[in-house]
Structure 1
Amino acid sequence: MVAALAVTAIILTSLLATLGAFLLAFNPEKREAVLPYLIALSTGAIFGGVFIHLIFKYINKYGFTRLTGLTIASTIGGMLFLEKIIHWHCHHSESDKEPFSYMVLFGDAIHNIFDGIIIASGFVISTQAGIVATIGIILHKIPKEIGDFATLVTGGFSEREALLFNFGVGVFMLLGGGVVLLFQGSAVVESVLLPVAIGSLIYIGGTDLFPEIKEHHLNNFYLAVSFFTGVAVMYAIVLIKPALG
């Protein structure tokens, strides 16, 4: 049951993220107008999921120790250095657009592995945590896929190729999810996976998404509405909690 839910959620995430990119891919003006608000929405959803659901769920099931805090902090640091390594490779390939484009796909594949880990980790803990993680990743991936699409086209890919390659690297989410599901019976592994998911989502929201919002000089009211709508979406899950388990 857990494996079926996790795999379904991962496939759905990949499809919806690619669909979101597809709908805005061929209208650059609309893409630029909508993207900041999508990013604000996904940021609110990610932080809402972490602080309303995942941390609450972990504390109630395992408590919160210094080791838990160390795991979360180490995950945030690990994500930072992983991203710096990817950017280093991209920087050393920027003289040729094609290699740079493939490095974008490589970085996306690495992130997809972690996305799969986050989603599967949630379902290992509970259906509710899995749904929270899935919504957070979907809302994060849609603006990211739109940005990747634009980068690949700039790097020499056709619009069709960019969409196909973006969708293709989604298979790496299944790889990350498979690793989690392989060890799902271990209580020790379960108690580590959720802090890793928490740390990963905090990193994504705090370093990848928040700076994107701050760069846009748009109507702060609408950006705030988008952010708190994301938080509200996650809190709404509390209202249907009995049905989620």
Structure 2
Amino acid sequence: MAMNPILMGLGAALGNLVGAAAVVRQERRSLRFIETCLAFGAGFMLALVLVGVLPEVFGAGSALPLAGMMVLVGYVVVHVAQHVLTPHFHFGEETHKVSANAGYSALVGLSLHAFFDGVAIAGGFLVSEKLGALFFLAVLLHKLPEGVTIASLMLASGAGRRRALGAGMVLAVATVAGVLLTELLAPLATYGLALAAGVTLYVAASNLVPQFQASKGFRMTAAFLGGIFALLLLGAFSLGAS
């Protein structure tokens, strides 16, 4: 049965709500699991981009002369969204008090990020169902810590639990919007995969990996390596095949 990118987008978007709910309900065991997902997702996403997506993007170089530029644009857009629009930002649970502006600026920045998560899923499906499914898994894995991030920031800024969950819902809606607009707008349909490569590379290498580099013990490193091996076992080396 054919997979529907919109349904995949909805499924990934649920990760935002699950992560936000874990913070609001203070489920420490769930938060520890999500922390492990962060490291696993980093490995999965990094391997997906380097082994599967970039060869696909540049393999179509004759048809997409701006492919390299679009990868760079995707990378830079996320950086600007997270560190210019959102000065107080890091993946994971926020444990210190922050200003109300910090919470809402984070919501703006992460909404843009979430939109490109949807672009990534839809862009993958435009190439093949296999690539779309792998992007869905990659996005879902970091949607959980993304939900933790926004909900904890909202709570730390003084917002109530309802607003914290509402912020997770905003990210979920932005994700689905990214899927829908990629299918409707020709430029996104053409360059969506290249943009998604840049976005995913940034999230994996610049957001997620630094979050667990200082962790002691082997648990997080094992999760990171597990994500890489999982992607390879799923056959990312043959992503061009339907």
TM-score, structure 1 normalization: 0.80
Gaps of 5+ in 1: none
Task: Tell me how far 1:29 sits from its aligned partner.
Answer: 4.3
Structure 2 Cα separation of the partners of residues 227 and 155 of structure 1: 31
Residue 76 of structure 2 corresponds to residue 74 of structure 1: no
Residues 195-242 of structure 1 show CA distances to partners (whole Å, capped at 9, x for unaligned) of: 11111100111111111112x3321x2222101211122223218x79
Residue 101 of structure 2 corresponds to residue 99 of structure 1: yes
Structure 1 Cα separation of the partners of residues 151 and 22 of structure 2: 12
Task: Tell me how far 1:61 sits from its aligned partner.
Answer: 4.8
Report which stretch shifted further, 106-115 or 25-34: 25-34
Gaps of 5+ in 2: 90-96
Q: 1:41–1:228: 8 Å Cα contact kept in structure 2?
A: yes
Alignment of 1:1-245 (within 5 A): 5-23=4-22, 25-27=24-26, 29-30=28-29, 33-62=32-61, 67-88=66-87, 97-183=99-185, 190-214=189-213, 216-219=214-217, 221-238=218-235, 245=242
Helix, strand or coil at the partner of 2:158: coil
Report which stretch shifted further, 119-128 or 54-63: 54-63
Q: 2:43–2:224: 8 Å Cα contact kept in structure 1?
A: yes
Task: Tell me how far 1:82 sits from its aligned partner.
Answer: 3.1
Instruction: Please tell me the residue identity of whatever aligns with 1:85.
Output: V
Helix, strand or coil at the partner of 2:7: helix
Q: Could you tell me the percent identity over the aligned residues?
A: 18
Q: Give the superposed CA RMSD.
A: 3.2
Structure 1 Cα separation of the partners of residues 147 and 106 of structure 2: 11
Q: 2:16–2:171: 8 Å Cα contact kept in structure 1?
A: no
Structure with higher helix content: 1
The alpha-carbon distance between structure 1 residues 180 and 29, as it changes in their structure 2 partners (threshold 3 A), is closer
